[in-house]
Amino acid sequence: MAETLGSLCDKLTIVKLKQWHTAEPGRLESLAGQERQLSGEIDQFVSDAASGRLPAERLTFAANKVYKEEGNAVPAVGGDIGTVFAHLAEVNCKLWHEVEKGYEIDKVPVGERDGLIKQLAVLNLERNKCIDSIDRQFRHLIAGR
């Protein structure tokens, strides 16, 4: 996947989730390094885009998800970049906890497994909407400079 501001923000929220869910010093040290690297990549990406060193076509990379809309209502994503970034972090937190259930699928009651799978799919679609929204808004801001 090509890196965009949205994809870098997504990766950063996941690193933060991993930090929250671990206490192992070696892993925390590694994650702190990943956080610094991603923060630096975000800063460089924004700087390159603002200075024109990054072509406009590199600012977006639409997920182009194809899915059956009927019965798969994905919540709307709105607001400015900061609001959508916060929404992305929330969605990734929910996704994290649903994925955790999937790791022990045999402990999920049979009648709830389909719901879990559906929830994972819808959350992932919502996650992609957030990433795409960040990218579109950032491209619009840069194009308007």
Whole-prediction pTM value? 0.90
- The per-residue pLDDT for 74 is 87
CB atoms within 10 A of CB 81: 18
Contact status, residue 142 vs residue 56, Cβ threshold 8 Å: yes
**Residue ranges per structural domain of the chain:** 5-143
**Which regions in the chain score pLDDT beneath 50?**
1
Structure tokens at 88: 């992305």
H-run or E-run covering 22: none
* pLDDT tens-digit readout, 35-72: 999 999 999 999 999 999 999 888 998 666 666 667 77
**DSSP conformational letter for 59:** S
What pLDDT sits at residue 64?
A: 65
Classify the C-alpha dihedral 40-42-45-47 as positive or negative. Answer: negative
